[in-house]
A = this chain, B = another copy of it.
Amino acid sequence: MSTPRHRTAPEHTHPDDVPVLTALAALADPVRLTLVRELAGSPEWSRACGTFDVPVGKAALSHHFTVLRAAGLVEQRDEGPRRVNRLRRAEFDARFPGLLELVLRTEPSA
């Protein structure tokens, strides 16, 4: 029996396989929208999961990242103890042209 890994690698869904309802639902949440906005303003792979300014606990944050991965919005990889992120901007744009631009340019509360 092999030694268990510290944690399993995150599962991803490519944007091409994401239904439009899944994409809309992933973006229709204030915490996830903040994560997407902060990722859009950061270099790829520069942000670990704990570095986002969102008012939720660790379990909730993990759930939000799962939803974002399943919607093809975020890619994650483990670098030692850190799980780092990038926004899948080009692939998501190819699947849903204009959607990310729209949510990024509109004020969240406006």
Interfacial residues, chain A to chain B (CB-CB below 8 A)? 19-21, 24-25, 27-30, 33, 96-99, 102-103, 106-110
CB <8 Å contact, A20 and B102: yes
A24 contact set on B, CB distance < 8 A: 24-25, 27-28, 103
The 8 closest A-B pairs by CB, nearest first: A24-B28, A25-B28, A98-B98, A20-B106, A28-B28, A24-B27, A24-B24, A20-B103
Bound-state Cα–Cα, A9 to B107, Å: 31
Copies of this protein, total: 2
A20 contact set on B, CB distance < 8 A: 33, 102-103, 106-108, 110
Name the residue in A24, A30, A96, A108 with the highest tally of chain B Cβ atoms < 10 Å from its Cβ.
A24
Bound-state Cα–Cα, A50 to B18, Å: 31
